[in-house]
């Protein structure tokens, strides 16, 4: 509005100037400058949208304010749009605040942008409020777009009941359109109950058609609902019904529906009749269907003749060959990404002597200290090692470059040899590097890497009967893949799931409840200062004690969708640290409550055989760094509160301990004490599970000091000491204003 007013003033001034003989008056010149500054500012902000670079957009707004330049509703709306693209809902709300402080009032377009920002960040309640309620509070009337935006937010969060009631409301207000119908049908397609939702989706599609509100987007949403519910014949019928001209998405959905039933010939015919290039997802499904039918020649031909090199279809093609017993040259299927993995291979081969497994592992760790790699190293490696028993058949989902697979092989050797590790990896470059490293380490008899989706390998029935399953691929898939694996699990099987707390696997946590005996190991994340993670060790309960899997709570589904979204986004674009932190702050209390209520969090040390456990009440000298939220180093006297053959649990007072470590000499003194404690623990032949108490009676995060090597201990201690100092002096992260992390990011940018 302000921009429109400015432009109106500008053109009036211009007209006056023309009538006065063509010369510009001073006021006209000023108006022109204002208008052109505004245009420039808005254009600069809009340029950030593609990358979702919201800190830059906010910085541009701030810079304009600093220079005393005018900012109007259009510029603020553009900034909110960029925030929506970057899923930065807090930043979007900051834009609203700033707009109001300028004396401007938001319009419907801005409310929709704010709603979209919340929707993109899986904040569906906020999105609903901003798109509809807040609009009404401002005495504005929501339009069809407001409803569509609210519905798509609820749909993304799997709130399908809410979506359907919003559709009814929109219909009663005469505001339903193709967008609202598409949102409702998409919600049904995404519903956990898609098996029964497809009928409802078809009805809505007919309703939309009758009201002349059906378009290709609504049509495709209906096809997707049918595809997800495995209704391939109904999907084919709808495609042929002639109501709408199908596009590449329509063909790909139906082809995917057929491919799910391994009807690859039908799927191929559909994709071939599509005039535009079918989606990569559809082609990937087709090639996988060919793989399941062992039609590897057709898979290879399709991949070759459709120019699919370097695309996501490559992994499926490589899998189709491997599952048929062939060993394709993985380099052919590798895309250009994977520079880091190839550099790692070169690094290790230059430094570790061939055939020395131990040296290879060390060099991978060494490399990971310079360039971050997503490895289960450090304390996680100790948990992994402790789970293994002599002769175990290990199945790992998520091999990456083979670090944890090699660790498992090393442990099996230490346990007397025998056993085997099979590890699945989706990415051909990572799988290729893993194979090369395994061969270099001389462990190719013990470790086998399979390229392709874990679910495809499980469905192929070629993974044997594992004793130990390591889940380290994609948190949102753990429960489905484990469910498919269950019939193949050996007696006394153990399942070790990594990354359950960070980035998080809420659906898995819900899946194992009542079906597995669960222990949570809380461990520091490798090379991620201050971040704790959970490794879950799960043993299947006896058939009679086992409950059938209950549907996950809605909150868990929402959180899982958000974790997936951030992980997905981080593979192709920058995800700001604040976004991860915010997600973690939402996720952690929910998962902790769930695990605490079931008594899973009383961490059990996986190491067994403590020869002479101290009796309860014994005093032990301890020091350890708490790498959780509090970020304090502790040098403390502790009391043994429990001792079992597998565990020594101690309690220490954090406040006392923290006070000890203020100077460097105190830090080194504390380090010495920690070394003593470590020695004491090892002397007893066991593992210390350390607890600290922040409030009397309240036990929180645990660390496992005796797992840590002295050099690492020293680093941890010093780092934690510094951060403890920083948080004491600067107020700490926990108490910060809602928008602090965004502000910092803006300043950084």
> In the bound complex, what is the minimum distance in angstroms from residue 425's beta carbon to ligand SAM?
5
Find the Cα–Cα–Cα–Cα dihedral 227, 231, 232, 237, rounded to 10°: -110
318 C-beta neighbours (distance < 10 Å), count = 31
Q: Is 282 in the site for ligand SAM (CB under 6 A)?
A: no
CB 671 within 8 A of CB 714: yes
Q: Is 291 in the site for ligand SAM (CB under 6 A)?
A: no
> Measured from the CB atom, is 340 or 374 closer to ligand SAM?
374
CA dist., res. 514 & res. 377, Å (int): 30
Q: Is 147 in the site for ligand SAM (CB under 6 A)?
A: no
Q: Which of 313, 453, 647, 652 binds ligand SAM (CB under 6 A)?
A: 453
- Residue among 618, 616, 654 at smallest CA distance from 635: 654
CB 155 within 8 A of CB 123: no
> Measured from the CB atom, is 254 or 397 closer to ligand SAM?
397
Q: Which of 474, 565, 592, 631 binds ligand SAM (CB under 6 A)?
A: 474
CA dist., res. 440 & res. 348, Å (int): 9
Three-state SS for 268?
Answer: helix
> In the bound complex, what is the minimum distance in angstroms from residue 430's beta carbon to ligand SAM?
5
Stretch that binds ligand SAM, among 272-280, 392-400, 543-551, 676-684 (CB under 6 A): 392-400
> In the bound complex, what is the minimum distance in angstroms from residue 194's beta carbon to ligand SAM?
20
Q: Which of 92, 110, 375, 627 binds ligand SAM (CB under 6 A)?
A: 375
> Measured from the CB atom, is 225 or 426 closer to ligand SAM?
426
Stretch that binds ligand SAM, among 205-213, 322-330, 374-382, 536-544 (CB under 6 A): 374-382
417 C-beta neighbours (distance < 10 Å), count = 10
> Measured from the CB atom, is 368 or 652 closer to ligand SAM?
368
Q: Is 472 in the site for ligand SAM (CB under 6 A)?
A: yes
Contact letters (x/-) for ligand SAM, 243-272, by CB under 6 A?
A: ------------------------------
Stretch that binds ligand SAM, among 2-10, 395-403, 563-571, 628-636 (CB under 6 A): 395-403
Q: Which of 374, 669, 699, 714 binds ligand SAM (CB under 6 A)?
A: 374
Q: Is 285 in the site for ligand SAM (CB under 6 A)?
A: no
CB 88 within 8 A of CB 120: no
CA dist., res. 354 & res. 259, Å (int): 44
CB 693 within 8 A of CB 651: yes
Q: Please give the backbone phi and psi of residue 311, each rounded to the nearest 5 degrees, phi first.
A: -95, 175
Q: Is 473 in the site for ligand SAM (CB under 6 A)?
A: yes
> Measured from the CB atom, is 376 or 626 closer to ligand SAM?
376
> In the bound complex, what is the minimum distance in angstroms from residue 458's beta carbon to ligand SAM?
10
Torsional class of 355: left (φ above 0), alpha (ψ -120 to 50), beta (otherwise):
left
Torsional class of 557: left (φ above 0), alpha (ψ -120 to 50), beta (otherwise):
alpha
Number of DSSP helices (H) and strands (E) in the chain, helices first: 34, 12
Chain length of the chain: 749
DSSP 707: G
Q: Is 126 in the site for ligand SAM (CB under 6 A)?
A: no
Q: Is 400 in the site for ligand SAM (CB under 6 A)?
A: yes
Q: Is 403 in the site for ligand SAM (CB under 6 A)?
A: yes
Q: Is 503 in the site for ligand SAM (CB under 6 A)?
A: no
> In the bound complex, what is the minimum distance in angstroms from residue 473's beta carbon to ligand SAM?
4
Q: Is 469 in the site for ligand SAM (CB under 6 A)?
A: no
Whole-angstrom CA distances from 540 to 60, 398, 455, 557, 663 are: 55, 21, 20, 23, 49
> In the bound complex, what is the minimum distance in angstroms from residue 568's beta carbon to ligand SAM?
11
Residue with tokens 């700033």: 98
- Residue among 469, 468, 472 at smallest CA distance from 380: 472
> Measured from the CB atom, is 128 or 364 closer to ligand SAM?
364
Q: Which of 227, 392, 425, 533 binds ligand SAM (CB under 6 A)?
A: 425
Q: Which residue is nearest to ligand SAM (CB)?
A: 398
- Residue among 620, 639, 626, 640 at smallest CA distance from 680: 620
CA dist., res. 704 & res. 359, Å (int): 25
Stretch that binds ligand SAM, among 189-197, 473-481, 529-537, 719-727 (CB under 6 A): 473-481
Q: In what order do the strands lie in the sheet with 447-451?
A: 447-451, 420-425, 393-397, 468-471, 494-497, 532-540, 516-524
Q: Is 540 in the site for ligand SAM (CB under 6 A)?
A: no
DSSP strands (E only) in 454-531: 468-471, 494-497, 516-524
Q: Which of 183, 186, 430, 716 binds ligand SAM (CB under 6 A)?
A: 430
> Measured from the CB atom, is 110 or 407 closer to ligand SAM?
407
Three-state SS for 737?
Answer: coil
> Measured from the CB atom, is 473 or 649 closer to ligand SAM?
473
Stretch that binds ligand SAM, among 93-101, 290-298, 393-401, 732-740 (CB under 6 A): 393-401
Q: Is 340 in the site for ligand SAM (CB under 6 A)?
A: no
Q: How, if at all, do strands 688-695 and 698-703 pair?
A: antiparallel
CA dist., res. 359 & res. 342, Å (int): 18
> In the bound complex, what is the minimum distance in angstroms from residue 499's beta carbon to ligand SAM?
7
Of all helices (H) and strands (E), which one includes residue 625? strand 619-625
Q: Which of 118, 254, 424, 702 binds ligand SAM (CB under 6 A)?
A: 424
Three-state SS for 210?
Answer: helix
What are the residues whose beta carbons fall under 8 Å from the beta carbon of 364, sequence distance 6 or more?
A: 344, 348, 373, 375, 401, 403, 406, 437
> In the bound complex, what is the minimum distance in angstroms from residue 138's beta carbon to ligand SAM?
45
Q: Which of 398, 503, 504, 524 binds ligand SAM (CB under 6 A)?
A: 398
> In the bound complex, what is the minimum distance in angstroms from residue 305's beta carbon to ligand SAM?
26
Q: Which of 302, 435, 477, 592 binds ligand SAM (CB under 6 A)?
A: 477
> In the bound complex, what is the minimum distance in angstroms from residue 235's beta carbon to ligand SAM?
24
What are the residues whose beta carbons fall under 8 Å from the beta carbon of 272, sequence distance 6 or more?
A: none
Q: Which of 426, 437, 518, 670 binds ligand SAM (CB under 6 A)?
A: 426
Q: Is 180 in the site for ligand SAM (CB under 6 A)?
A: no
Stretch that binds ligand SAM, among 400-408, 612-620, 640-648, 659-667 (CB under 6 A): 400-408
Structure tokens given for 420: 């085997």
CB 400 within 8 A of CB 470: no
> Measured from the CB atom, is 402 or 657 closer to ligand SAM?
402
Residue with tokens 């070790």: 496
Q: Is 404 in the site for ligand SAM (CB under 6 A)?
A: yes
How many residues contact ligand SAM, by CB under 6 A? 19
Whole-angstrom CA distances from 558 to 95, 103, 279, 561, 565 are: 26, 36, 27, 5, 11
Can you give the binding site for ligand SAM, defined by CB under 6 A? 374-376, 397-398, 400, 403-404, 424-427, 430, 453-454, 472-474, 477
């Amino acid at each position: 509005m302000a921009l429109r007013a400015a432009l109106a003033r500008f053109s009036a001034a211009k007209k006056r100037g023309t009538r006065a003989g063509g010369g510009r008056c001073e006021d006209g010149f000023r108006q022109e400058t204002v208008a052109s500054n505004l245009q420039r500012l808005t254009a600069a902000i809009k340029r950030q949208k593609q990358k979702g670079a919201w800190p830059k957009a906010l910085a541009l707004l701030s810079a304009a304010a600093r220079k005393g330049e005018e900012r109007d509703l259009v510029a603020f709306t553009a900034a909110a749009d960029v925030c929506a693209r970057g899923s930065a809902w807090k930043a979007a709300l900051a834009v609203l605040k700033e707009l109001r402080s300028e004396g401007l009032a938001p319009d419907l377009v801005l409310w929709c942008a704010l709603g979209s920002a919340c929707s993109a960040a899986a904040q569906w309640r906020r999105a609903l409020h901003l798109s509809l309620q807040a609009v009404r509070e401002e005495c504005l009337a929501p339009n069809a777009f407001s409803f569509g935006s609210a519905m798509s937010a609820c749909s993304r969060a799997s709130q399908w009941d809410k979506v359907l009631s919003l559709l009814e409301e929109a219909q009663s207000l005469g505001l339903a359109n193709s967008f609202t119908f598409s949102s409702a049908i998409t919600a049904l397609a995404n519903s956990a109950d898609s098996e029964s939702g497809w009928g409802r989706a078809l009805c809505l599609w007919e309703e939309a058609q009758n009201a002349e509100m059906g378009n290709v987007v609504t049509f495709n949403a209906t096809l997707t609902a049918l595809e997800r519910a495995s209704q391939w014949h109904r999907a084919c019928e709808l495609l042929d019904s002639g109501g709408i001209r199908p596009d590449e998405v329509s063909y790909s959905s139906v082809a995917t529906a057929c491919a799910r039933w391994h009807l690859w010939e039908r799927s191929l015919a559909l994709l071939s009749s599509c005039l535009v290039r079918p989606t990569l997802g559809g082609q990937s499904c087709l090639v996988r269907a060919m793989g399941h039918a062992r039609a590897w020649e057709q898979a290879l031909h399709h991949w070759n003749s459709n120019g699919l090199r370097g695309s996501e279809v490559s992994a499926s093609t490589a899998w189709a060959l491997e599952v048929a017993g062939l060993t394709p040259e993985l380099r052919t299927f590798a895309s250009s990404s994977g520079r880091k993995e190839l550099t790692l291979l070169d690094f290790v081969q230059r430094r570790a002597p061939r055939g020395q497994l131990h040296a290879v592992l060390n060099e991978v760790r060494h490399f990971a200290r310079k360039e971050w790699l997503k490895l289960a190293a450090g304390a996680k490696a100790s948990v992994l090692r402790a789970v293994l028993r002599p002769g175990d058949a290990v199945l790992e989902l998520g091999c990456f470059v083979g670090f944890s697979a090699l660790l498992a092989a090393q442990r099996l050797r230490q346990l007397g040899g025998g056993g085997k590790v099979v590890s699945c990896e989706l990415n051909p470059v990572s799988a290729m590097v893993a194979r090369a490293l395994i061969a270099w380490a001389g462990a190719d008899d013990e470790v086998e890497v399979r390229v392709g989706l874990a679910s495809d390998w499980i469905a192929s029935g070629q993974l044997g009967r594992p004793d130990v399953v390591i889940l380290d691929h994609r948190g949102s898939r753990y429960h489905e893949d484990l469910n498919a694996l269950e019939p193949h699990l050996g007696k006394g099987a153990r399942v070790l799931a990594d990354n359950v707390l960070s980035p998080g696997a809420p659906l898995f946590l819900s899946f194992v409840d009542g079906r597995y005996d669960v222990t949570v190991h809380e461990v520091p994340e490798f090379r991620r200062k201050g971040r704790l993670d959970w490794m879950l060790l799960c043993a299947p309960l006896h058939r009679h004690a086992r409950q059938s899997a209950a549907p996950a709570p809605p909150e868990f589904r929402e959180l899982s969708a958000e974790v997936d979204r951030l992980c997905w986004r981080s593979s192709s674009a920058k995800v700001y640290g604040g976004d991860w932190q915010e997600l973690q702050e939402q996720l952690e209390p929910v998962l902790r409550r769930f695990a605490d209520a079931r008594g899973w969090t009383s961490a059990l040390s996986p190491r067994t055989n403590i020869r002479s456990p101290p009796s309860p009440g014994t005093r032990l000298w301890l020091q350890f760094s708490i790498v959780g939220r509090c970020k304090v180093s502790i040098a403390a006297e502790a009391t043994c509160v429990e001792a079992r053959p597998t565990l020594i649990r101690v309690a220490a007072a954090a406040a006392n301990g923290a006070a000890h470590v203020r100077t460097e000499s105190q830090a080194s003194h504390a380090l010495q004490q920690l070394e003593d404690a470590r020695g004491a623990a090892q002397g007893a032949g066991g593992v210390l599970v350390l607890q600290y108490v922040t409030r009397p009676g309240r036990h929180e995060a645990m660390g496992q000091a005796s797992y840590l090597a002295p050099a690492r201990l020293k680093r941890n201690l010093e780092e934690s000491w510094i951060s403890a100092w920083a948080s004491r002096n600067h107020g700490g992260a926990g108490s910060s204003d809602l928008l602090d992390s965004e502000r910092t990011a803006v300043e950084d940018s």
